Amino acid sequence: MQNFKKKLEFYIMYFSFKGRKKREYKDFENAIKKLEKLSTEELEVEYIDIKVKYKYKKISSLIYGIIILLILNQFLKFFYYIFENSLKLINLKGNYAEMGKVMIILVTIFSVILIILALIFLINSINKLKLLYKKLLIIKLVRKEKENK
């Protein structure tokens, strides 16, 4: 029972704000310790490497984001056209009304899936940029500390 209680507390704390901040602080400390072990030249190389990755990711994310939004726009225009024609089919009698309802459901499902996939890509790209920027700031901090010594 005690073991279950500890596991439950661990999982609750793992997802809590306090638990996340504690893990982030430990990661921050570990990154600083690792970077402090590097020589000045190695730190400069690391800084340049992360800076280049960050700039490349920033530009490529912007370009890919614009491309995805343009493609998404075209698909949604196409789906709107199908949706409009499906509404016309619903007004007809017979099998066409059922086919129109099915088309509306399919178009809605595909539209939602496309929007969710685009959002996932954009959020993932932003999170990667955030991590690279965080690494860049940590390296800057360590460089500044080494310069002051």
pLDDT in tens, 7-63: 777 767 767 777 788 888 899 999 999 988 988 899 999 999 999 999 999 999 999
What's the pLDDT score for residue 1? 64
Q: What is the largest CA-CA distance in the chain?
A: 84
Q: Residue 142: how many CB atoms within 10 A of its CB?
A: 20
Q: Which of 87, 117, 124, 122 is nearest to 102 (CA)?
A: 87
Summarize pLDDT for 61-120 with one digit per residue, the tens: 999 989 998 998 998 898 888 888 887 777 776 677 777 778 888 888 988 998 899 899
Spatial contact of 54 and 126, defined as CB atoms under 8 Å apart: no
Angle between helices 95-148 and 40-90 (to 10 degrees): 170
Supply 3's token pair: 């073991």
- Residue 57: the pLDDT is 93
